[in-house]
Amino acid sequence: MNQLYKYARINNNTLSALVERYAWYPQPSSLNDPFDCGLSESLMGNNDQWGVLSLSAISSNIMMWSHYADSHKGVCIEYTDYTDEQLSQQPLKSNINPHDDGHNEIPIIRNATEIKYLSTQELNDQLEQLPQSLDDFNKELKEYNTGPHTKEKYRNGFVIRGMKALFMKHRDWSYEKEHRIVTLEGNRPISAPGIVTTIFLGMNTSEMQCQQIFRIGTEIGAKVLKMERVARKYELTPRKLTETEKKRPKLDFSRSINHSLRKLEIPE
């Protein structure tokens, strides 16, 4: 994927992340689907040390704008993948695999994993294949920690199986077209997963917030567009900002004052 998208509300956290060029990685327990982290927890125990950044492959999904972008009053941030040259200048390291070769697991969008959407039965089948008791879990953990930690052991071990469980959701969520980046430590900021190239504003974003986001976009070198309805279609499309949405116009006090004075004139 060359681009992935993050829907968000407009608040101080979002503005700070844009200006400071970072993304917030919440813990699994804070995800909006209570079953989301349950599959991996069944395999790995308490998984709330992980950090999960959820991104989407699309920027114009009406339900996503409603659910995650403050009922179309928020933003959708477009992250574009780093070039190899840009990547070489980033102070990014793998947060998961100590045997990472070629930056294959640093937290950037090229390494995001697409969510696999499964039926209820398919999810239940996955759960049945996991350790059925704490003893089974501890036995597998002990085997994994015995001897050197080789690449082969890592790729075939319970850690990878647990990681795979973090990328499974019920098919009811498939409209999100989600891709995830997972790190070992959650509830903290990490460098942005790509270059912010476009900031899409919701169609209900206020004029003042449009101006605020436009200033930030100008500062970080990102385009700022605003979503609007497509005539006679159930679709959204981006458009350029109006001059007023870009910058607050200067007020012409004389015009309004004169208009008020004319109202107060005493007729002859």
Q: Answer whether residue 186 is part of any domain.
A: yes
Q: Answer whether residue 228 is part of any domain.
A: yes
Q: Answer whether residue 215 is part of any domain.
A: yes
- pLDDT of 70 above 80: yes
Q: Answer whether residue 88 is part of any domain.
A: yes
**84 pLDDT band (50/70/90 cuts)?**
confident
Q: Residue 266's pLDDT is what? A: 39
Following CA atoms 37, 41, 44, 47 in sequence, which dihedral angle do they give, to the nearest 10 degrees?
60
Mean local confidence (pLDDT), 87-104? 59
Q: Answer whether residue 192 is part of any domain.
A: yes
- pLDDT of 24 above 80: yes
Its domain, for residue 19, covers 3-246
Q: Answer whether residue 267 is part of any domain.
A: no
Q: Answer whether residue 177 is part of any domain.
A: yes
Selection from 202, 162, 180 nearest residue 70 by Cα? 202
Q: Residue 94's pLDDT is what? A: 52
The per-residue pLDDT for range 146-192, each reduced to its tens digit, is 777 666 665 555 555 666 777 888 999 999 999 999 887 788 888 89
Q: What's the predicted TM-score (pTM) here?
A: 0.79
Of 17-21, 48-52, 101-105, 255-259, least confident by mean pLDDT is 255-259
Q: How far is CA 201 from the centre of its chain?
A: 15
Q: Residue 267's pLDDT is what? A: 40
Q: For the chain, what's the residue count?
A: 268
**31 pLDDT band (50/70/90 cuts)?**
confident
Phi, psi of 229 (to 5 degrees): -70, 145
**29 pLDDT band (50/70/90 cuts)?**
confident
Number of domains the chain is built from: 1
Q: Answer whether residue 120 is part of any domain.
A: yes
- Give the Å distances, CA to CA, from 207 to 78, 117, 154: 21, 38, 51
Residues 191 and 62: their CA atoms lie apart, in Å, by: 28
**Strand duo 168-170 + 116-118: pairing:** parallel
Mean local confidence (pLDDT), 63-89? 92
**139 pLDDT band (50/70/90 cuts)?**
confident
Selection from 37, 69, 65, 70 nearest residue 51 by Cα? 37
